[in-house]
Chain A
Amino acid sequence: MSTGRLEIRKTYKLFIGGEFPRSESGRSYEVTDSKNRFLANAAMGSRKDARDAVRAARTAYEKWSNASAYNRGQILYRIAEMMEGRKEQFVSEVMSSEGCTKPVANKIVTAAIDRWVWYAGWADKFATVAGSTNPVAGPYYNFSTPVPIGVVALVAPAKSSLLGLVSVVAPAIVVGCTAVVIASENRPLPAITLSEALATSDLPGGVINILTGNTGEITPWLASHADVNGLDLAGVTNPALAIELTQSAAGTIKRVLPRPTVEPDWFKDPGLERLNFYAEARTVWHPIGV
């Protein structure tokens, strides 16, 4: 950096409804790397930001959940394409955020890109695998299809700032949910850069909204929000907060994915667990006759 040219830094902002606002609260917080060196000032999301994000997700829901599976699959694949183009940037941010070597960061970023591709392929296959025609004892045609649970709030994993984040949000949107994501509090930068890839990937605004800030401050507003249907506690590290959020979510019978006691290995084959969580069966009966 001694070439005499001063580097242009990026302003890290929130991602709500396809736009990049600062927090309405005007607050920010200092983000450091694994060795405690200053990286950036990230926006400190507020209650109002969370509510705006839920509104954006709800607005986007009708169209996204009714988009064809083929269309959703192509958009998820397009996200992978956009990430591939920014690979170097992701590698460098994962390195500084997670304090890992370049080969490890490279492995993380390629796994995150490949995860989008994996889930993209599920878009038009999940209903085949999870749905059914049901042989009822009577003259009825009866079938079940998985349908999205609605607007969901996800607390992204605390440690795995990119691969973990992709692993929790991709299954939610591929089945047709729209999401409000709280990025890892201490490692938010890859999440914000991901939102820049999302913004250029044909993903309609509001399908994924990303907030940065204090997890303990923002999540209670999402857990109690009547327009949120599901809650993923993947990144909640504080057990007392997890209990509080689960109890609050019970107020409107939200579906809750519990806090893992140890952050999982996100390189593992994800299986259907999260797809199953984000979709529930709708069963239709019709008489058979002339």
Chain B
Amino acid sequence: MNQSFEYSPAPESRAIVNLATSYGLFIDGKFAQGQDGAPFKTIDPATEEVLAEVWGAGPKDVNRAVTAARKAYNQTWRKTSGRERGKYLYRIARIIQERSRELAVLESLDNGKPIRESRDVDIPLVAAHFFYHAGWADKLDYVGLGSSPSAYGVAAQVIPWNFPLLMLAWKVAPALAAGNTVVLKPAETTPLSALWFAEICQQAELPNGVVNIITGDGATGAALVSHPDVDKVAFTGSTEVGRQIAISIAGTKKSLTLELGGKAANIVFDDAPIDQAVEGIVNGIFFNQGHVCCAGSRLLVQESIADAVIDSLKRRLSTLRLGDPLDKNTDIGAINSAPQLAKIVELAKSGELDGANKWQAPCQIPEKGYWFAPTVFTNVTQSHRIAREEIFGPVLSTLTFRTPSEAVEKANNTPFGLSAGIWTEKGSRILQIASQLKAGVIWANTFNRFDPASPFGGFKESGYGREGGRQGMLGYLRPRGK
């Protein structure tokens, strides 16, 4: 059987996104040119076309943003009742729903992710996060810290480029619900949706200074988290940067939560429903081009079914469509940036040099932009770099195991501990293995599911603190008088 399906292009129109040529910073409720620092360009990674110029905030800009957040905390937000804070968040959730199509296109343009994902996953979850946390704002007595817990004050938040607006929602929604004001720095390569969010705050008539958005690179982020008037730091990104932040704020009163890297094991037992497991493996590592900290990047498959699973996986991967992120039929979009692509290429090369067998899905790579075909390594051992380091790309490393205890041992053999997957028909085994895996989120017979009601976060070097659920609120509150 050799059928090839051809689809006509089905691009989502980008006309809905009205881009200006340049953007300033959003401080104290207003967009304005930065005072120090320098402008930089943000590009569409699928075409390398410049989308807009944004401002790389300097130390003065950072200071202005923190000052605005402090003033808003003292003069406005602290005095706003939980019920009223919640109503602002409900408004924001509704505006996000109203503008969801525009936001989805913008996100795919700036990030490179398929419109199918930004439209069906990212943006609906963004709205859901605001809607969920809105309801917490007037129920803080019930989060588990005793009556009348206090906000920290000014929260400095630094987020990554893989889910730009969703990561913003994970940070901003609980912070505001708890009564903090926010200075948020989006990732250098994906600043646009955060600036759109600033405009949504204006539409919602959120008081000035409650949310401030400053764009920039790592230097801007470092200046923000080390600003002396910041009370709370929340970071999502690499373990290395998380480490630097923890070092830089040591000895201060700042409270810190970190959501860092991962190297998740996706464990497939011999009694697993193979077709479903293969879909789960694909979703686990090729969702969002593998730019997912909780990606199932290490496939641990029981030896007796390894060949069948790998064959089925390769067959499935051969049907994935790589290309224009705005095409509704696209499964695999663009790699977010040239440096990220270089890192993926380098690690994939190390896999070959270490002796693993590389297989790539046969797909046409567009001439412009940053792309990497879905890649599967077999014959991988635990000492290989591709089994130990976070690749953050569409690269799956496959290892095998014979017994459940060997699977657990291999799964836990990493400094990370963010997520894991288990595929088996046996319920008692799921609960047993789940209790032995050192991972903060475990998907059994599914993978990469997210929900604002579900706490997300890691063990060990994947960071500390949770985002989502009641547990997520604890990161933005302290007991009264503490």
Contacts and interface: CB of A to CB of B under 8 A. Distances in A.
Interface of A: 66, 129-130, 132, 134-138, 140, 142, 144, 147, 149-150, 229, 239, 242-243, 246-247, 249-253, 255, 271-273, 276, 280-287
A284 B243 contact: no
B250 A252 contact: no
Interface in B443-466: 443-446, 449, 451, 453-457, 459-464, 466
A134 B442 contact: no
Nearest to B462: A253
16 contacts: A134-B451, A134-B455, A229-B460, A247-B247, A272-B145, A280-B466, A281-B440, A282-B440, A282-B441, A283-B441, A283-B455, A285-B443, A285-B449, A285-B454, A286-B446, A287-B445
Interface in B412-454: 415, 430, 434-435, 439-446, 449, 451, 453-454
B442 A144 contact: no
B471 A144 contact: yes
B250 A246 contact: yes
Given A276-B474, A282-B434, A253 B243 contact: yes
A253 B260 contact: yes
B238 to A, nearest CB: 11
Nearest to A229: B460
Nearest to A244: B250
B251 interface: yes
B469 interface: yes
A170 B89 CA distance: 40
Contacts of A246: 246, 250-251
Given A137-B451, A250-B250, A132 B471 contact: yes
Contacts of A142: 451, 453-454
Contacts of A281: 440, 455, 457, 466, 469, 471
A179 B464 CA distance: 19
A285 B440 CA distance: 11
Contact of B442 (A135, A255, A284): A284
Interface of B: 128, 144-146, 239, 242-243, 246-247, 250-251, 258, 260, 415, 430, 434-435, 439-446, 449, 451, 453-457, 459-464, 466, 469-471, 474, 479
9 A-B pairs with least C-beta separation: A250-B246, A243-B251, A246-B250, A136-B451, A134-B453, A253-B461, A286-B444, A247-B250, A281-B455
B442 A285 contact: yes
B250 A271 contact: no
Contacts of A283: 440-442, 454-456, 469
Q: Which of A149, A247, A253, A284 has the most CB of B within 10 A?
A: A253
A253 B246 contact: yes
Contacts of B440: 280-283
Contacts of B461: 252-253
Given A132-B469, A229-B460, A285 B453 contact: no
A271 B478 CA distance: 12
B446 A280 contact: no
